Amino acid sequence: SEGAIGAILTGLMVLLFLRYNQNNYIANYFDEVYQGLSGKYKGALSSRKTKLAKGAPFFDFELIDENDNIVKLGDLSGKVVLIDFWFTGCSGCLQLASALKPVKQYFKNNKKLVFLSVSVDKSKAIWLRSIKEGKYTQSGASNLYTGELNRDHPLIKYYNITSYPTLYIVKDRKMFEAHPPRPMPLQKNEGNLVDANGMQLIEILKGALSSL
């Protein structure tokens, strides 16, 4: 029946948002779809909506850096943080790392902005090699690792991160933007340093920094 088909389609749509709403294109429709839901379907998305809402407390993580120092969320008080989740072998992660270089260059003198690189690699040795090669992170970024838990780390599970790369903007330990525009690297023959998404990202970061 039409009702049964509709219920199946709604369930599939909810599942899509639960698993893949890190995707900027899908995320654009999140609020519209959420408002149209009821009952168990709306309940399934309510927790995610709450966690990703602007101003929601960010997950209180503890991660190690390449020198085995522990970095905590509390260390980032009073900062705007652009967090990039990635893994070695992710082609999209390579593209994003390249596209973020001019963004980082734009803010090179701003001490209130931190670029945080979080790897979910299964092997610490692979992660350290990737950092050394400099293909997946930007120079000067703080490189953190989810350790032996990799994708089962509580931080990853809390936000149900299933697609990579994923970007978050955190301001003073609170979620500022859960779906920031993701810049793409330009062709070498193009004159601009960043693409349209990169320019939007810069403006969002500037707005976050302006009210600190």
Strand 70-72 and strand 80-86: the pairing is unpaired
| 70-72, strands of its sheet edge to edge | 70-72, 62-65, 142-145, 113-119, 80-86, 166-171, 174-177
Per-residue pLDDT at 26 exceeds 60: no
- Residue 76's Cβ-count burial label (10 Å; 0-12, 13-18, 19+) is buried
Q: Which residues contact 129 (CB under 8 A, 6 or more apart)?
A: 88
Reported as half-sphere exposure (CB side, CA atoms, 13 A), residue 61 has a value of: 24
Q: Which of 12-21, 47-56, 134-143, 182-191 has the lowest mean pLDDT?
A: 12-21
| pLDDT for the residue numbered 19 | 57
The 10s digit of each residue's pLDDT in 118-134 is 999 999 999 999 999 99
- The pLDDT assigned to 50 comes to 86
Reported as a pLDDT band with limits 50, 70 and 90, residue 169 is very high
- Alpha-carbon gap, residue 5 to 8, rounded angstroms: 5
